[in-house]
Amino acid sequence: MGRAEAAAMIPGLALLWAATLGEAAPNPPRLRLSFQELQAGHGLRTFRLERTCCYEALLVDEERGRLFVGAENHLASLSLDNISKRAKKLAWPAPVEWREECNWAGKDIGTECMNFVKLLHAYNRTHLLACGTGAFHPTCAFVEVGHRLEEPMLRLHLRKLEDGKGKSPYDPSHRAASVLVGEELYSGVAADLMGRDFTIFRSLGQRPSLRTEPHDSRWLNEPKFVKVFWIPESENPDDDKIYFFFRESAVEAAQALGRLTVSRVGQICRNDVGGQRSLVNKWTTFLKARLVCSVPGVEGDTHFDLLQDVFMLSSRDRRAPLLYAVFSTSSGIFQGSAVCVYNMNDVRRAFLGPFAHKEGPTHQWVSYQGRVPYPRPGMCPSKTFGTFSSTKDFPDDVIQFARNHPLMYNSVLPMGGRPLFLQVGAGYTFTQISADRVAAADGHYDVLFIGTDAGTVLKVISVPKGSRPSAEGLLLEELHVFEDSAAVTSMQISSKRHQLYVASRSAVAQIALHRCAAHGRACAECCLARDPYCAWDGAACTRFQPSVKRRFRRQDVRNGDPSTLCSGESSRPALLEQKVFGVEGGSAFLECEPRSLQARVEWSFQPAGDAAHTQVLAEERIEHTVRGLLLRGLRRQDSGIYLCAAVEQGFSQPTRRLALYVLSAAQAERLARAEVAAPAVPAGPKLWYRDFLQLVEPGGGGGTSSLRMCRPQPALRPPTSESRRKGRNRRTHSPELRSERGPRSAARW
Ligand SMILES: *[C@@H]1O[C@H](CO)[C@@H](O)[C@H](O)[C@H]1NC(C)=O
Ligand SMILES: *[C@@H]1O[C@H](CO)[C@@H](O)[C@H](O)[C@H]1NC(C)=O
């Protein structure tokens, strides 16, 4: 029995061991891009409506080229190419009577008694299905969007509304999880005003409406539904299943452990029509299993117990998609999130394994050892696996067994047995995930876009680690796609258009999946980034097109090793030497910030008139800071060339070349009075001398002037640093000077 099987019935116990994880340092992204940078240089576009909040429902319609958006009291239809232009809007408020009833029920008229649009599905060739909370009076509508080639259209008949009960939540703070298959809607919601009657519900379409057994904690125990998918099981549509992802209170947890939350995957058969004498109009094929995402440890596993979102990445075989899931933790000891990946075989195996069984109220949950009736509960009535053509024909003992055994004994473990990617102590948690499969020069890679509760999107690539199927996630980018830091509530990807659409309480944002030029202007930088969307084309880091001749393209996603790939390339434009002046006894600041936040900086020093280089190590007078080297108590012999190199994955790249001139107090004074030029200073642009003079002038004494030199001096700074610093101000929460960055692999397992 594997570790998770053994732990299956005592979930959460190992949370106690989470303390060890709390000490891990967060992974820094390779690049961090601010809202301003993304807007100015990377085509970030945003959309928001006046006096409207809560953009939560997004629907990508590739054929029409539209992004449909549902928000508070509104629907909108935007261009997929540019969400900032030509928006079609539609007001869909809740009627006054409903708002008054809502208010009488004790809800807030201004914030809760509104129609929050929670779900949008493509219904047929001309209509969408939209549902909203309708001021605690769930309501749905068919929205006319016209035929594919027509002018964009958005029309709704307020007199022809559908009941939204069991489709949309009542409460705006709840999420809707649903899938539309054919004309049938499968949803997981609270079906009452009080938010106590949770159900997995089928509505619309031709098949009978079915639900889960009400008020039976073995079936559902205060669930929070996250996602629903339709996944075929065989070539025969009769075997099609609907999978529900949610979290709930663990009914199987020992009482002593208190209330514990677990994540689940549940299944039902699409052709379920309920039982004949028992479970009438209820699911007869409902099963659920625990979904585990944990880090194995010597003293126990650390569980990420709160499922937040799931993305289904389809493959050529429709029966075998990959499921990328993000989790956070309820631990009070540490803040962390994880990405775990599941394959359908592991999910199906759990449903084919032993059932969890509890003999009576005083008994423990155990693995059921008795005879399981035929057809095995959870199997769909079909010709593939049996002779039954309808769940109404199932024998009574099958129905009884199904009713009492909705829970499986075994858990579903992630691929590789552990998270693909973790972030601990980063100050945010993951809320949403989307994925894209990309063809690169050396194979296919999955790129993940992870939305956080801080309004950012992380771009993570999954690269093989050792032998497959084990992989690890590399954090490439942290994108601040919103002006504020409201949590990401929804995300949609268009692989075809290479765009990501991100929604929050305050806006919708659109950003391309790649920003190759942001990786740098050298082959090595492009290569080290390991971005499967990008390659070095001989002159720049640009979008990789698998169809273009490979000879000119340099890309190595798997290893990111520039030493072999970029050897023939002129490594980077020759470094310009920059001059820095200091006064004896004072201090000087030598700025060097590599583009990559994952690079370590190394300084070497070549004394004036000497050919030998030595590495600059930290000592009493010399401090290595995040932004550069700080030299105090300057001496004449500190004069010379300082070379800053960014070291990443063992590859060293020269980044800055600075010539430091240490002047005596007398020299500085003379210079200040502009009697003579500084002796060691070669002729340079006049402007530069003037800046320098202004610098040393006002103080007179060495101490004051050198202090001024320590501060960022606009005239001496390269033009790019101002803009770059803006995007980085989240890295160190205060501008204090940190001596050394932690090893970047600290939080990776
Ligand atoms: C998007 O549309 C807006 C409004 O029409 C326009 O100002 C902007 O330049 C467009 N952006 C791009 C990248 O096309
Ligand atoms: C789509 O569904 C709507 C609502 O049921 C209906 O009015 C419309 O005629 C349907 N359109 C097509 C093309 O079937």
How far is ligand 2, taken at its centre, from the CA of residue 68, in Å? 18
Q: Residue 631, by phi and psi: left (phi above 0), alpha (psi -120 to 50) or beta? A: beta
Give yes or no for residue 310 having a pLDDT over 70: yes
Strands 139-144 and 127-132: antiparallel
Does 741 have pLDDT greater than 70? no
pLDDT band at 548 (very low <50, low <70, confident <90, very high): low
Count CB-CB contacts under 10 A for residue 276: 16
Q: Is the separation of the CB atoms in 578 and 591 below 8 Å? A: no
Strands 287-291 and 294-295: unpaired
Count CB neighbours of 49 within 10 A: 18
Question: What is the third-level CATH fold of 229-427?
Answer: Methylamine Dehydrogenase; Chain H (2.130.10)
Point out the ligand 2 atom lying closest to the alpha carbon of residue 125: 13
pLDDT, residue 432, reads 98
Mean per-residue pLDDT for 189-210? 91
How close is the Cα of 127 to the center of ligand 2, in Å? 6
**Cα–Cα distance for residue pair 118/129, rounded to 1 Å:** 11
579-606, pLDDT tens digit by residue?
888 888 888 899 888 888 888 889 999 9
Evaluate if residue 180 carries a pLDDT over 70. Answer: yes
Q: Whose CA is nearest to atom 9 of ligand 2?
A: 126
Could you tell me how far CA 677 lies from the centroid of its own chain? 56
Q: Which protein residues touch ligand 1 with a CB less than 6 Å away?
A: 43, 45, 82, 84-85
In this prediction, residue 744 carries a pLDDT of 32
The span from the CA of 423 to the CA of 24, in Å, is 9
Q: Ligand 1 centre and the CA of 24: distance in Å?
A: 43
Q: Which residue has the higher pLDDT, 655 or 371?
A: 371
Give ligand 2 pocket residues (Cβ under 6 A): 123-127, 142
Distance set, CA 333 to CA 155, 420, 431, 746 (Å): 50, 22, 20, 18
Q: Which atom of ligand 2 has the smallest separation from the CA of 144?
A: 3
Taking the centre of ligand 1 as the mean of its atom positions, its distance from the CA of residue 438, in whole angstroms, is 27
In the reported structure, the alpha carbon of residue 183 is separated from the centroid of ligand 2 by a whole-number distance in angstroms of: 11
Q: What is the DSSP string of 301-334?
A: PEE--EEEEEEEE--SSTT--EEEEEEE---SS-
pLDDT at 191: 87
The alpha carbons of the chain give a radius of gyration, in whole angstroms, of 31
Q: Round to the nearest angstrom and report the end-to-end CA distance of the chain.
A: 24
> Mean pLDDT score of the chain, rounded to an integer?
84
Sequence ranges of the domains in the chain: 229-427, 516-565, 577-673+686-724+733-737
CATH code of the region 516-565: 3.30.1680.10
CA distance 39 to 509: 10
Tally Cβ neighbours within 10 Å of residue 445.
21
Q: Please name which ligand lies nearest the alpha carbon of 144.
A: 2
**Residue with CA closest to ligand 2 atom 6:** 127
Q: Domain spanning 577-673+686-724+733-737 has what CATH number?
A: 2.60.40.10
> Rounded distance, CA 571 to CA 584, Å?
36
Q: What angle do CA 645, 42, 553 make, to 5 degrees?
A: 60
pLDDT of residue 686: 42
Does residue 159 surpass a pLDDT of 80? no
Average pLDDT of the segment spanning 531-550: 83
Closest ligand to the CA of 80: 1
Does pLDDT of 11 surpass 50? no
Q: 78-87, 180-189, 588-597, 715-724 — which is least confidently predicted?
A: 715-724
pLDDT at 664: 85
pLDDT at 675: 46
Q: With a cut of 70, say whether residue 15 has pLDDT above it.
A: no
Pick the atom of ligand 2 nearest to 142's CA. Answer: 4
DSSP 568-628: TS--SSPPPEEEEEEETTS-EEEE---S-TTPEEEEEEEETT----EE---BTTEEE-SSE
Model-level pTM greater than 0.75? Answer: yes
Burial of 549 (0-12, 13-18, 19+ CB in 10 A): exposed
Distance 121 CA to ligand 2 centre (A): 13
- DSSP, collapsed to helix, strand or coil, labels residue 398 as helix
Cis peptide before 714 (omega within 30 of 0): no
